[in-house]
Structure 1
């Protein structure tokens, strides 16, 4: 699929990434557990801009923006947005790590990024993340296993596992676990579950808890993403 194909909002989920294309109303301030690449599609003359305001009130505006994990920000409304969420432990994330450190980076080279560019590296492990940490992140989807259990599975102490996550990812594993719960709940919504059912399938206490966590980590509500999850044309899909 190319970014210019199709009409209406859509959401694609693949190995190591998710892709949303559609309108963006004014979002809530949020922090996600993934890298974000965002740009507005359209003609190159003039190049459409996207704007994000960080937690300190600084506005970042450019042809494309890269937002590092756990950076508090709010995206300004735009008629149409293409945004990728890139798992921080996949190989494509290595291309997004800014030399100046975490934050919001104006990165015009990523404008027009296509799914076929992301897909191969999204499915590959990062060369900059300890394999034991990657294994713990992959196992973190099992809510029944506590942090100490995850650490034991990969041969680390809980303290060392927490330190690795902070050093190499810039986020605690607890936040990553919530991110994975949101992904499960979104899958359930796409499959036809009600928001209340999706909340329970995602591991949230109830629908209100699900809504708060989604708003906190994406700036959006379940109701706002439903048009992309269930488009009439059937465009939302899981990448293969």
Structure 2
């Protein structure tokens, strides 16, 4: 059932943990209300207590599972014991979640769910979960190794990475998009975020995490994290 949602007067702190994979991120814990925002990654949220969400029109929905399309404006309402996942919308339709997480999401989709926006032609959810495409994992791992080794240097030139594969810049861009289904810049962004979050969980301060992952400073890292997942860097508490 939908109703008009009001903007939050106070935004309670979130409590939980964030894990970032190659092209997915997982938040487990409580969720505080957020302001209306959108991000390139598709998002799914589910909880045994139900998930509340408000769309761009201000309509509030409640369901055991909520699916948010890429770039769809939304804001989550506060809730306990919520699982959030963010998935890069690869052009080849590939979704590769860890088996346990994939199983958990598939189980959540067996019950009622809501899609934001409520568009019958929604292009991402839930079809990517039907099957996983075959990928050249060895080639992708080779790219990861090259990129990860130089993340701390900041800007990564596509031409330099292409040269490591003895390919022209244009040819490498084409091959990369064809094999991985995502732009090279998005691939690098996920690697930076993954490294920064991993270092933070290991006890490093946010400034060191940011510089080690190639962000200009802690503020740059914080803005990027917020833009992609709607999560503040201050929530990444070291052990």
With the length of structure 1 as denominator, give the TM-score of the two structures.
Answer: 0.59
Aligned counterparts of 1:199 and 1:106: Cα–Cα separation in 2: 34
Q: Relative to structure 1, is the Cα distance of residues 64 and 212 closer, same or farther in structure 2, using a 3 angstrom cutoff? A: same
Query: Secondary structure of 1:9's partner?
Result: strand
Which of 48, 51, 55 is the matching residue for 1:49?
Answer: 51
Which of 133, 146, 152 is the matching residue for 1:127?
Answer: 133
Q: Relative to structure 1, is the Cα distance of residues 169 and 41 closer, same or farther in structure 2, using a 3 angstrom cutoff? A: farther
Aligned residue number for residue 47 of structure 2: 40
Shift of 1:219: 1.0
Report how many aligned residue pairs link the two structures.
Answer: 194
Tell me whether 1:9 sits opposite 2:16 in the alignment.
yes
Structure 2: 5+ residue runs without aligned partners? Answer: 1-14, 106-120
Aligned counterparts of 1:188 and 1:199: Cα–Cα separation in 2: 9
Shift of 1:82: 0.2
Aligned residue number for residue 151 of structure 1: 162
With the length of structure 2 as denominator, give the TM-score of the two structures.
Answer: 0.59
Shift of 1:10: 3.0
Aligned counterparts of 1:155 and 1:65: Cα–Cα separation in 2: 44
Q: Relative to structure 1, is the Cα distance of residues 36 and 131 closer, same or farther in structure 2, using a 3 angstrom cutoff? A: same
Aligned counterparts of 1:130 and 1:57: Cα–Cα separation in 2: 43
Q: Relative to structure 1, is the Cα distance of residues 52 and 32 closer, same or farther in structure 2, using a 3 angstrom cutoff? A: farther
Structure whose alpha-carbon radius of gyration is higher:
2
Query: Secondary structure of 1:198's partner?
Result: helix
Aligned residue number for residue 233 of structure 1: none
Aligned counterparts of 1:165 and 1:38: Cα–Cα separation in 2: 30
Matched-pair contact (CA < 8 Å) for 1:39–1:65: yes
Tell me whether 1:193 sits opposite 2:217 in the alignment.
no
Aligned counterparts of 2:173 and 2:141: Cα–Cα separation in 1: 13
Aligned residue number for residue 85 of structure 2: 84
Q: Relative to structure 1, is the Cα distance of residues 26 and 156 closer, same or farther in structure 2, using a 3 angstrom cutoff? A: farther
Cα-to-partner distance string for 1:28-78 (whole Å, 9 max, x where unaligned)? 524255x54321233xxxxx2343647x9897764324446x535434123
Within 5 Å, give how 1:1-240 maps onto structure 2.
9-12=16-19, 17-27=24-34, 29-32=37-40, 35-42=42-49, 48-51=50-53, 53=55, 62-67=63-68, 71-80=71-80, 81-86=82-87, 91-92=96-97, 102-103=123-124, 105=125, 127-129=133-135, 134-135=140-141, 138=144, 139-141=146-148, 142-143=150-151, 145-154=156-165, 156-163=167-174, 171-226=182-237, 230=239
Q: Relative to structure 1, is the Cα distance of residues 137 and 51 closer, same or farther in structure 2, using a 3 angstrom cutoff? A: farther
Shift of 1:166: 5.4
